[in-house]
């Protein structure tokens, strides 16, 4: 039953101004956006034993131009425990920030609307495993209208079979959708590649599709990386699949074999676009998932990231709001590489820069002029000794090169290991 | 085509209704773009009943005013039928008339399923009670439906005032704020949320502009209508 809606044509004929469908730039399409200069960067930070209070915390950094505290930490909200702080996300009204803990399966909900410069922990979900039927390792938090979608990494046995979980914005459990295994996915194309692993989830509303990626279970992500890398059996326990879903029905449509741990999913924003990028951590490739001319979804590797032979371990990627520029970080060499992806089928690297001894996350502003980087991957996977730099570094981007703006030493300030970043703006709630 | 023209005319009328105000003209924080163009919802829908819509939470109630000014218990109104419940304000020039037009489209499409009968109800509630009095809502409603036209019941509600409205908006996570606090007659910032509520008063889906596709909502309605009492 393929059909189109024609009623919107009438709206366009009235000349109603529609805002651009972009973001800053990896958030859910279902929420209000900061189209001007962000005021604050919230950093979900892993606690480090013996450093400060040793607890995970949401760190607020003032990034307002001209502010006397610009480039400084202006607020720290400790949760009083260590949970392997990892990713998070805003609700669709952008009034709450949900932050996840991979180790304890705890979700911390912060109110960022009442005072955007001073978020407050208002609720903790600590029965995630029980309510979800055995899912553990909540990874991200992705806004849907009135609810949150939580992709997880593991299950109560610690293996990589996991699920996507939904909660209402009020923190009430709604549903668990287990990632399919090959045995369960026999009837869909590529079903033999389904491995049950999970990592990221992103939706392209116009096409009613959801795209998921795959990582590893608790038995691997909570184990020191050196041990995992030296254990051939453990190295077999990583995801190598991506799944395109019927979003509305929450049912898988097609499974792609994407070897080497596909991580972050970034859909292009343009209304005429139907493609997404991901990077593979262990095979160092940039992959494109796209709808072909026949309306069929496909996946293929389109570029190497660094030298795959050197195992640079691609981590976070960030696609610009105009879909033309993609930033890709590699953890091991601390590099960021910038690709011209105007032709998504043929990315061209146009720039590279060493950010630090290690680097993980990258977030860019709506206008693509400001980039923020953080260093930590996982508590047991970060480097040690002098190479264990823990920082947030801010840059400006002029289309050709990155120029430093400021940096914050998270170890020196006794904060911990900085991970996920999200932007705040007082004007979102000014009225 | 004829229906499109009718709806566009209604939209134009709504945009001019009582002096339209732009709800989203600040350049700083914008909602995500509503789909546009004829291909906005060009995707294949699942068959009704082939998927589940798990209950999200109970639909909240409160005292509201009908078009004739009578007081209504919202909680009671939102039970007993499958209800498509939306928040709007009549001075809105962009999102609200667009959404209301899509609901009118939904109501037209629902005529294809006479078995739905009285089991479907649309409810549009204003979050601008100082302007949207019951009589204003009655006139606004007349743009979109005619009593006895054979379509599903469509009520246009408002509140007696902000004290009565505030707990309802809070219960539905519907943030509303003036674009310019110094101009009480100006536009209101809000995001669109439309709720699908089952006969037991449970919210079963929440639509933003991105997913307020009349055919998709109708598919969800038919999915709920096909559920047995024990589901």
Please give the Cα distance from A251 to A257 (Å, whole number).
18
The DSSP symbol for B27 reads S
Residues of chain B with C-beta less than 8 angstroms from the C-beta of A145: 193, 206-208, 210-211
B197 confidence band (pLDDT: 50, 70, 90): very high
Residues of chain B with C-beta less than 8 angstroms from the C-beta of A209: 43
B230 confidence band (pLDDT: 50, 70, 90): low
Residue with tokens 């009285």: B118
Residue with tokens 């023209």: B5
In whole angstroms, how far apart are CA B217 and each of A12, A25, A83, A150, A247? 22, 29, 40, 24, 14
pLDDT at B3: 33
- Best of A4, A5, A122 to substitute, by most chain B Cβ atoms within 10 angstroms, is A5
Cβ separation of A92 and B208 shorter than 8 Å? yes
User: Scanning every residue of chain B, which has its alpha carbon at the shortest distance from the alpha carbon of A6?
Assistant: B38
**Contact status, residue A306 vs residue A337, Cβ threshold 8 Å:** yes
For residue B112, the distance in angstroms to the closest alpha carbon of chain A comes to: 15
Residues of chain B with C-beta less than 8 angstroms from the C-beta of A146: 56, 173, 193, 195, 203, 206
Mean pLDDT split into 10-residue runs, chain A, 431 residues: 32 27 60 85 98 98 97 98 96 94 98 96 98 97 94 98 97 97 96 98 92 98 94 97 96 97 95 95 98 96 97 96 97 98 98 98 94 97 97 98 98 98 87 54
Compute the mean pLDDT over every residue in chain B, rounded to the nearest whole number.
83
Please give the Cα distance from A367 to B209 (Å, whole number).
24
pLDDT at A5: 31
Whether residue B25 is predicted with pLDDT greater than 70 in this model: the reply is: no
Angle A414-A56-A80 (CA atoms, 0-180°, nearest 5)?
100
Phi, psi at residue B137, to the nearest 5°?
Answer: -65, -35
Strand order in the sheet with A201-204: A201-204, A209-212, A241-246, A251-257
Whether residue B8 is predicted with pLDDT greater than 90 in this model: the reply is: no
B229 confidence band (pLDDT: 50, 70, 90): low
Residues of chain A with C-beta less than 8 angstroms from the C-beta of B207: 145
For residue A172, the distance in angstroms to the closest alpha carbon of chain B comes to: 8
pLDDT at B178: 80
Cβ separation of A30 and B210 shorter than 8 Å? yes
The closest of A104, A180, A92, A99 to A136, measured between CA atoms, is: A104
**Cβ neighbours of A81 (radius 10 Å):** 17
The helix/strand count (H/E) of chain B reads as 6, 12
pLDDT at A195: 97
Cβ separation of B42 and A2 shorter than 8 Å? yes
For residue B69, the distance in angstroms to the closest alpha carbon of chain A comes to: 30
> CA neighbours within 13 Å on the CB side: how many for B216?
28
In whole angstroms, how far apart are CA B78 and each of B60, B61, B83? 9, 8, 6
Angle A269-A20-A347 (CA atoms, 0-180°, nearest 5)?
30
Phi, psi at residue B144, to the nearest 5°?
Answer: -110, -20
Task: Strands of A230-376 (E only): list them.
Answer: 241-246, 251-257, 266-267, 275-280, 285-291, 297-304, 314-319, 325-330, 335-340, 348-354, 362-364, 370-374
- Best of A11, A114, A132, A246 to substitute, by most chain B Cβ atoms within 10 angstroms, is A11
For residue A68, the distance in angstroms to the closest alpha carbon of chain B comes to: 22
Dihedral angle sign, alpha carbons of residues B80, B83, B87, B89: negative
Partnered with residue A391 across adjacent β-strands are A409
Length of chain B in terms of residues written: 231
Residue B26 touches chain A, beta carbons under 8 Å: yes
3-state secondary structure (DSSP) of residue B219 = helix
Residues 6+ apart with CB under 8 A from A322: A22, A269, A270, A368
pLDDT at A240: 98
Stated as kind and residue range, the H or E segment containing B86 is: strand B82-88
Please give the Cα distance from B141 to B143 (Å, whole number).
5
User: Scanning every residue of chain B, which has its alpha carbon at the shortest distance from the alpha carbon of A3?
Assistant: B42
* Structure confidence by residue, pLDDT tens digits, B46-89: 999 999 999 999 999 999 999 999 999 999 999 999 999 999 99
DSSP per-residue codes, A28-63: -TTS-EE-S--SEEEEEEE--TTSTT-S-EEEEEE-
Residue B186 touches chain A, beta carbons under 8 Å: no
Cβ separation of B28 and A12 shorter than 8 Å? no
Residue B2 touches chain A, beta carbons under 8 Å: no
pLDDT at A183: 96
Angle A179-B204-A111 (CA atoms, 0-180°, nearest 5)?
80
The DSSP symbol for A265 reads -
pLDDT at A431: 54
Stated as kind and residue range, the H or E segment containing A271 is: none
Residues of chain B with C-beta less than 8 angstroms from the C-beta of A13: 8
Of A311-320, B127-136, B206-215, which gets the smallest average pLDDT?
B206-215
Q: What is the dihedral of CA A246, B223, B97, A147, to 10 degrees?
A: -60
Residues of chain B with C-beta less than 8 angstroms from the C-beta of A122: none
Cβ separation of B51 and A19 shorter than 8 Å? no
Q: Distance between the two ends of chain A, CA-based, in angstroms?
A: 44
**Cβ neighbours of A292 (radius 10 Å):** 10
pLDDT at B41: 65
Residue B127 touches chain A, beta carbons under 8 Å: no
Nearest to A5 among B5, B28, B40 (CB): B40
Nearest to B28 among A31, A174, A425 (CB): A425
Residues of chain B with C-beta less than 8 angstroms from the C-beta of A272: none
* pTM, full prediction: 0.89
Omega cis (within 30) before A25:
yes
- Best of A1, A3, A6, A8 to substitute, by most chain B Cβ atoms within 10 angstroms, is A8
**Contact status, residue A300 vs residue A288, Cβ threshold 8 Å:** yes
Cβ separation of B46 and A33 shorter than 8 Å? no
For residue A88, the distance in angstroms to the closest alpha carbon of chain B comes to: 20
Mean pLDDT of B99-112: 95
Q: What percent of chain B stands above pLDDT 70?
A: 81
Dihedral angle sign, alpha carbons of residues A291, A292, A296, A300: negative
Residue B229 touches chain A, beta carbons under 8 Å: no
Nearest to A431 among B7, B177, B213 (CB): B177
B13 confidence band (pLDDT: 50, 70, 90): low
pLDDT at A8: 29
Phi, psi at residue A427, to the nearest 5°?
Answer: -65, -20
pLDDT at A1: 40
Whether residue B173 is predicted with pLDDT greater than 50 in this model: the reply is: yes
């Amino acid at each position: 039953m393929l059909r189109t809606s024609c009623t919107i044509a009438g709206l366009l004929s009235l000349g109603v101004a529609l805002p651009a469908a972009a973001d800053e730039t990896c958030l859910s399409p279902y929420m209000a956006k900061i189209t001007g200069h962000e005021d604050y960067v919230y950093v979900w930070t892993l606690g480090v034993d013996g450093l400060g209070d040793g607890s995970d915390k949401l760190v607020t950094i003032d990034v307002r131009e001209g502010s006397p505290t610009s480039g400084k930490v202006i607020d720290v909200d400790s949760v009083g425990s260590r949970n392997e702080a990892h990713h998070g996300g805003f609700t669709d009204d952008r009034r709450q920030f949900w932050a996840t803990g991979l180790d304890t399966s705890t979700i911390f909900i912060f109110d960022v609307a009442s005072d955007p410069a001073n978020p407050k922990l208002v609720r903790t979900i600590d029965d995630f495993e029980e309510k979800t039927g055995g899912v553990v390792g909540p990874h991200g938090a992705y806004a849907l209208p009135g609810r949150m979608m939580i992709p997880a990494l593991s299950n109560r046995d610690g293996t990589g079979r996991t699920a996507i979980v939904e909660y209402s914005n009020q923190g009430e459990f709604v549903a668990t959708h287990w990632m399919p295994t090959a045995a369960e996915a026999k009837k869909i194309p590529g079903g033999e590649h389904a491995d049950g692993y999970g990592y990221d989830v992103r939706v392209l509303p116009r096409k009613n599709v959801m795209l998921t990626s795959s990582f590893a279970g608790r038995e691997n992500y909570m184990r020191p990386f050196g041990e995992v890398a030296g254990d051939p059996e453990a190295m077999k326990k990583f995801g190598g699949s991506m799944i395109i879903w019927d979003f509305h029905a929450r049912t898988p449509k097609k499974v792609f074999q994407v070897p080497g741990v596909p991580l972050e999913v970034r859909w292009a924003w343009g209304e005429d676009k139907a493609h997404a990028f991901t990077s593979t951590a262990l095979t160092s490739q940039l992959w494109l998932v796209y709808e072909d001319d026949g309306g069929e979804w496909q996946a293929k590797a389109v570029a190497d990231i660094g030298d795959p032979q050197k195992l640079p371990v691609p981590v976070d990627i960030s696609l610009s709001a105009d879909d033309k520029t993609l930033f890709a970080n590699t953890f091991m060499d601390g590099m960021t590489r910038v690709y011209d992806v105007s032709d998504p089928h043929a990315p061209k690297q146009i720039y590279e820069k060493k950010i630090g001894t290690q680097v993980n996350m990258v977030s860019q502003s709506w206008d693509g002029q400001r980039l923020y980087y953080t260093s930590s991957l996982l508590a047991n996977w970060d480097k040690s000794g002098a190479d264990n730099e823990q920082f947030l570094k801010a840059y400006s981007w002029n289309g050709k090169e990155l120029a430093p703006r400021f940096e914050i030493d998270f170890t020196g300030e006794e904060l911990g290991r900085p991970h996920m970043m999200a932007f705040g703006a007082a004007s979102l709630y000014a009225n | 085509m004829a229906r499109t023209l009718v709806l566009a005319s209604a939209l134009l009328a709504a945009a001019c209704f009582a002096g339209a105000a732009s709800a989203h003209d600040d350049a700083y924080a914008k909602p995500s773009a509503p789909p546009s163009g004829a291909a906005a919802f060009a995707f294949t829908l699942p068959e009704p009943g082939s998927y589940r819509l798990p209950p999200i939470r109970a639909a909240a109630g409160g005292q509201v005013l009908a078009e004739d000014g009578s007081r209504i218990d919202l909680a009671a109104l939102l039970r007993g039928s499958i209800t498509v419940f939306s928040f709007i304000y009549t001075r809105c020039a962009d999102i609200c008339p667009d959404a209301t037009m899509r609901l009118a489209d939904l109501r037209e499409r629902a005529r294809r399923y006479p078995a739905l009968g009285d089991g479907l109800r649309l409810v549009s509630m204003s979050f601008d009670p100082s302007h949207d009095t019951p009589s204003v809502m009655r006139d606004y409603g007349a743009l979109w439906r005619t009593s006895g036209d054979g379509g599903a019941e469509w009520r246009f509600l408002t509140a007696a005032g902000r004290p009565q409205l505030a707990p309802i908006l809070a219960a539905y996570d519907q943030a509303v704020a003036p674009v310019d606090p110094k101009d009480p007659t100006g536009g209101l910032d809000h995001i669109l949320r439309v709720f699908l509520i089952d006969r037991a008063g449970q919210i079963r889906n929440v639509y933003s502009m991105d997913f307020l596709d009349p055919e998709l909502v109708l598919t969800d309605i038919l999915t709920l209508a096909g559920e047995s009492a024990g589901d």
